[in-house]
Structure 1
Amino acid sequence: MAMNDTGSGKPGIGLIGLGTMGGALALNIAEKGFPIAVWNRTASVTTEFHAEAGPLAERIVPTATLADLVAAIAPPRAIILMVPAGPAVDDQLAALSPLLGPDDLVIDAGNANFHDTNRRQAAGLPFRFLGMGVSGGEEGARHGPAIMAGGEAADWARMAPVLQAIAAKAEDGTPCADHMGPAGAGHFVKAVHNGIEYADMQMIAETYGIMRDGLGMGATGIGQCFARWNEGVLRSYLVEISAAVSLARDPVGGGPLLDIIVDAAGQKGTGRWTAIEAQNLAAPIPVIEAAVMARNVSARRAERAAGEALYGRAAGKAVDVTPDDLEAALIAGKILCYAQGFAMISAAGKEFSWALDLPAIARVWRAGCIIRSAMLNDMAGALAEDPARNLILAPFFADHLRRSLPGLRRVVSAGALHGLALPALAAGLAWFDMMRTARGTANMIQAQRDFFGLHGFERLDGVKAPHGPWANDT
């Protein structure tokens, strides 16, 4: 039975947690024609939310207690959790356990660590459980997010009519909501999405830094540059908003708003989880790791000021690159970053025996989410041709890289020469140069390991001599 027609006069779906994201998602669900019951631990929040829902209030049932919420939903119930990741989710699941039956379904739609989702799925909960990554911020939650679900296929199928109705739609009309795989697969894919988000933002910030400190451009000119880039290959949400924030005026002082914002970036931890898990999977994602590092360094304002006082400010406004070089660098960096992210997802599929559909993931990311980009259509096509092939080896993206890599090299070189930090762009270039080198330098590392630990090595000529002559000295 459809959740907007339970036959009982009750909604078939509920939502717990009416914060910014939860409230926006509840309104989205109601707007798409699905009655919904809502509850928040602070009763006044529920009352105010319902009072301010306008015409949608008639599809929203406010409840005063958790038991009231459960009673207000027609069984088999579906309840979406929009509470902070971590212990709060476990507490909420424990509170729901005596109130729900085995056919009821709880959906954790927060930024959960996928290991926690795996644990909860395996814990023998007395109800059905689905882990769901939601991307797009408040605007996405209200008008169309990207949704990445993980759990039993039957539970996804049950929720799909609601989730696909509220999700963003790609240009071809396809809903940006799909089932990623079992257990924590949805939250894992969302974590990689967030890692790519960190990297994309960092690379944009690095090109901004070169324009500001290396070319002497003001915020308005930088904003115009981003706006122009957004009309081409780099068309994406993050480049679009980078233009908007660069062009914004300070309502207090009247100058560029960007110039008076403190240069210390916050984070909620999902990018860090991605970097940690990449190490566990032996999946190299240096651009994302560099972006996480850069955020951590950004928080050390006092130390950075002391460093500048000791060593002097980087020489600026004499960098021999052009805005076209910077655009090329960002194109190359973006391709390299996404290639690393999809390779990490592929590695997770093998490690956890998840049948992750890489083209489907790329399609889900085409709209609604923070990393939505014009490139994702082409990435979905390249991954469909050969999911096992790294994106940098796909002909379409190889052509893009051949054209854009010279610009990336000029930018990274200029940054190094002038002391302008480009950690993410430089990490992407170094990874690419390793990936295009058939004979690398790890033979030296293997010889070193054998010298001090007799770990052995293989020989190119196939001769069975696993140790060097130093082994005879031990």
Structure 2
Amino acid sequence: MTQDKILCDIGFIGLGVMGKNLVLNLADNGFNIAAFDLSDEKVQAVKAQDEAENTTGTPRVYGCSSYTELLSQLKAPHLIVLSVPAGAPVDQVCENLIGAGIQPDDIIIDTGNSLWVDTVAREQKYKSNFLLFSSAVSGGEVGARFGPALMPSGSPYAWARVRPIWEAIAAKVDPATGKPLERTQPGQVISEGEPCAAYIGPAGAGHYVKMVHNGIEYADMQIICEAYHVLKSGLGLSCDEIADIFEEWNNGPLDSYLMEISVEVLRHKSSDTNTPIVELILDKAGQKGTGLWTAMSSLEVGCPAPTIAQAVYARSISSFKDLRTQASTQLQGIEVSPVSDAEKAQLIEQLHDAIYCAKMCAYAQGFQLMKLAAKEHGWTLDFGSIAKIWRAGCIIRAAFLQSITEAFDRNENLENLLLDDFFTQQLGERQLNWRKGICFATMQGIPTGALSSALAYYDSVRCETLPANLLQGQRDFFGAHTFERTDKPAGKKYHVEWSTKDRATIAIDS
């Protein structure tokens, strides 16, 4: 059987780490793929890996050397998946496919981390040329290979065509327990369970949800890193000791992918010095934009997301390594006292609860942001469904997400996750340890921006009266911005002719 006689089910463009693994995942699930990349080396690599892993004896991945050849190898109407960097590369591929003869009823699926507004604009731009469908993918290279979480959005017609494929390759969850059904071997297929793929909404909605997912991911990672910092610098524990603690925590309510990989990172030793590799990694972090986009969006829609924003700031300040090195010799901290073994045990428990509580607040911020954005953009988002598809296959997959799913099952109109009875109870029972853990870190001079901002968020949400009354007075004093009064009907605006000299005031109903 020769390649030019094969009509493939799916075209695939972009064979980097994510693209290659998605191709192999599709192949495992019975689809034939015509694959193209600007690098022929990558095309040959994915073909070779398919041949090595394929037990059917029939090729499943066919290499193409041009966009025209790619289209010629596909069944009509064409279905083409893109795994290329966000931004200009997506448009360039789209233009190339138009030049190669793509048709109006063909579907192009953008699986990259595109900014959601770009996706909305592209759907309009190319609607006469083809159907642009987007499907954000989470789970990294392992998820892409063995089952990612998928957040598709766009044309419902396109979703009807894509759905069987996406549900086949997605991660699966046991519906009774909410736990992942793990697939770890090439050729392995899991047909049972709930797929972690669900239609999100119109164009842009899926990429917006993935953006918020990544913002929560930023916060979750930073929360764990701050706990590591306290255990390392505050309690003087070794990497192996911290790994033991994290491993124990991972057997309880903190069970998550991020906690699991943190254990592995902490245990890994350098091959040349047998030193924990984490101690040799330069403490300068980068960020690709999605966390920043989430923080910016929270400001635009007026939704407080301080823990997500603080996680972005933490990465930013880490990049100023030279400044921090200089400041460490000039800016004074405080003298710290040794910690007894009994105190260590208490502090470890406090840190556990601090992580758990801060994590609840980070997710609450993310879900409230999606709720407000949906209202602003006219989307109908199913938050219970979103929580479900994050239970496996993605970076923030965690046992904790089952509780979020159940919260939205109880009340689909839940305004804020913290107001669900389960979360209210958990926070109430653990908040004292949360506060004590942060107090210890503060008195040790150890920064805990994410843990602390989450606590400030919790205290702000539960505070009936905030000092914004004084703030409104200040604004009215210097800018006549007006204010409402607690003793007058809602919605009426007032202004005072302030006088700091004789304190005389004149109220003016605006």
SS of the equivalent of 2:388 reads helix
> Structure 1 residues 48, 256: closer, same or farther in 2, change over 3 A?
closer
Question: Which position in structure 1 is the counterpart of 2:131?
Answer: 128
Q: Which residue of 1 aligns with 2:296?
A: 276
Question: Which residue matches 1:215?
Answer: 235
**Alignment partner of 1:245 is 2:269:** no
**2:156 paired with 1:153:** yes
Secondary structure of 1:263's aligned partner: coil
* Aligned equivalent of 1:416: 442
- 2:109 is aligned with 1:107: yes
Unaligned runs of 5+ in 2: 176-192, 499-504
- Say whether the 8 Å CA contact 2:6–2:73 is kept in structure 1: no
Q: Give TM-score, length-normalised by structure 2.
A: 0.89
* 1:445 match: secondary structure: helix
CA apart distance, 1:442:
0.4
Residue aligning to 1:370? 395
Q: What's the offset of the Cα at 1:439?
A: 1.1
**Shift of the alpha carbon at 1:47?**
2.0
Structure 1 distance, partners of 2:53, 2:70, is 21
Partner deviation per Cα, 1:105-126 (whole Å, 9 max, x = no partner):
0000001110110110121430
Amino acid at match of 1:364: I
Of 328, 350, 356, which residue of structure 1 is paired with 2:375? 350
User: Which segments of structure 1 move beyond 6 Å, counting only runs of 4 or more?
Assistant: none
Equivalent pairs, count: 467
- Structure 1 residue identity aligned to 2:47: H
Q: Does 1:165 align with 2:168?
A: yes
How far the C-alpha of 1:449 sits from its partner, in A, is 1.1
1:12 and 1:76 in contact (8 A); partners too: no
Q: Post-superposition shift, 1:465? A: 7.2
Question: Which residue does 1:36 correspond to in 2?
Answer: 33
Separation in 1, partners of 2:338, 2:306? 28
Say what the alpha-carbon RMSD is for the aligned residues: 1.7
1:24 aligns to 2:26 (yes or no): no
CA distance in 1, matches of 2:146, 2:106: 27
What is the CA distance between 1:247 and its match in structure 2? Answer: 1.6
Conservation of the 8 A alpha-carbon contact between 2:475 and 2:481: yes
Q: Look up the equivalent residue of 1:195 and give its one-letter code.
A: G
**Structure 1 residue 59 displacement after superposition:** 1.0
Deviation at 1:421, TM superposition (A): 0.2
1:196 equivalent to 2:216? Answer yes
CA displacement at 1:426 relative to structure 2: 0.5
Corresponding residue SS for 2:430: helix
User: Given the superposition, is the C-alpha separation of residues 315 and 384 from structure 1 closer, same or farther in structure 2, using an over 3 Å criterion?
Assistant: farther
1:448 paired residue number: 474
CA contact (8 A) 1:133 1:187 kept: yes
Match of 2:460 among 428, 434, 441: 434
Structure 2 Cα separation of the partners of residues 280 and 187 of structure 1: 17
How big is each residue's C-alpha offset from its partner over 1:164-215, in whole Å with a ceiling of 9 and x where there is no partner?
1000001221000111100001111001000000100000000000000101
- Work out whether residues 12 and 33 of structure 2, in 8 Å CA contact, stay in contact via their aligned partners in 1: yes
Distance across 1 between alignment mates of 2:334 and 2:411: 45
CA contact (8 A) 1:132 1:147 kept: yes
State the SS of the aligned residue for 1:284: coil
Whether the aligned pair in 2 keeps the contact of 1:21 and 1:141 (CA below 8 Å) is yes
Per-residue CA distance 1:425-444 (angstroms, 9 max, x = gap): 10000011010011111000
1:400 aligns with 2:426: yes
Letter in 2 for 1:107: I
**Are the equivalent residues in 2 in contact too, given 1:150–1:182 (CA < 8 A)?**
yes
Where 1:106 maps in the other structure, the secondary structure is strand
CA offset at residue 51 of structure 1? Answer: 2.2
Q: Distance in 1 between matches of 2:9 and 2:162?
A: 11
Distance 1:314 1:123 in 2: 59
Q: Distance in 2 between matches of 1:109 and 1:145?
A: 11
> What are the Cα deviations for residues 40-86 of structure 1, in whole angstroms up to 9, with x where unaligned?
11223212321232243711111111110011001111100001111
299-308 or 93-102: bigger deviation: 93-102
Q: Which amino acid aligns with 2:408?
A: L
Cα shift at 1:386:
1.7
Partner Cα distance (2:454, 2:300) in 1: 20
Letter in 1 for 2:441: G
CA contact (8 A) 2:172 2:195 kept: yes
Q: Distance in 1 between matches of 2:370 and 2:152?
A: 15
CA distance in 1, matches of 2:338, 2:217: 30
Q: Which runs of 5+ in 1 are unaligned?
A: 1-7
Give the conservation status (yes or no) of the 8 Å contact 1:315–1:419.
Answer: no
Deviates more, 1:328-337 or 1:404-413: 404-413
